[in-house]
Amino acid sequence: MTKLSVICGKASEDLGKKLARKTKANLVKSDVRIFPDGESKITLKGTISKKKSIVVQSIYPPVDTNLVQALSLISKAKETSSEVIVVIPYMGYARQDKEFLPGEIVTMKVLAKLFKGAGASKLIAVDIHSLIGLRYFTIKSKNVSAVPDLAAYFKKLSLKNPLIVSPDQGGKERAREFAKEMGIEYIALQKKRDRKTGKVQIKTKKADVMGRDLILVDDMISTGGSIVNATKFLKKEKCKRVFVACTHALLMNNAEKKIRKSGVARIISANTIPGKTSIVDVSNTIAKAIV
């Protein structure tokens, strides 16, 4: 029997298979049946290692369903393996990492207890929305970045005087890291909100973007509002093409269509969430973190 097995949840089948190949592990697949009331019935197919198992399951919509499936997989793995490493490519609930208003539940604190209780020995996340969430884990936890993999993809494209752009100041460090990987410049757009009307305006210098191919960088895209607003502004500033690079492409509520309509040439994302745009593989980055 192999000393390592990869148990891939239904939400991360392709990434799980790639990770199993990279780590030379025995692959254990999940067969999931969803009952009319929404309950998940999971059956594993394959042999679980007695020494170490890696459970791979993203927690994207339906978030609660994929979370319960992840916990179930961990619990089953722990029945056989002495060590269970959990890989959550996309960590749902990561935005609920602190009490913003009185009475709010810090759900990431709950998740930390659930993962440990289910039997996780270590947790690895990819570009988690906030590192604050990992502080609640009492087991070993690590965040890895998909930026080098995404940057490597864009290096292969024929771009005209490319520039990395963060849609807001909050993503400045990510843009800096992306630009460093590509050996090019970056800027972070500034937003100014009118206190009377609530309208948000974006500001930057025309000379920064005129005639250049731009790569809008973000950690995740949900509804795409920030990307759409940034793209419309940049197009008015006479830029050339606009590409979007993100780790997690949730693309809710017809977001992809809205983003393309705003003038974006292509959306490129990592395979932390499967989809049409998820063409950048992060399995090698995850495999390195496991070792």
Q: How many CB atoms lie within 10 A of CB 176?
A: 16
Answer yes or no: are the C-beta atoms of 163 and 213 closer than 8 Å: yes
Residue with tokens 């393996």: 81
Cα gap 162→210, rounded to integer Å: 11
Which amino acid, residue 146? A
**Cα of 277 vs its chain's centroid, Å:** 13
Q: How many CB atoms lie within 10 A of CB 137?
A: 20
H or E element, residue 180: helix 172-182
Cα gap 66→60, rounded to integer Å: 7
DSSP helix/strand/coil, 207: helix
Cα gap 54→120, rounded to integer Å: 10
Tokens read off for 4: 């390592």
Q: Catalytic pick from 191, 232, 235, 258? A: 191
Cα gap 250→62, rounded to integer Å: 11
Write out 258-282 in H/E/C secondary structure: HHHHCCEEEEEEECCCCCCCEEECC
44 beta partners: 30
180 as an active site residue: the answer is: no
Catalytic site positions: 191
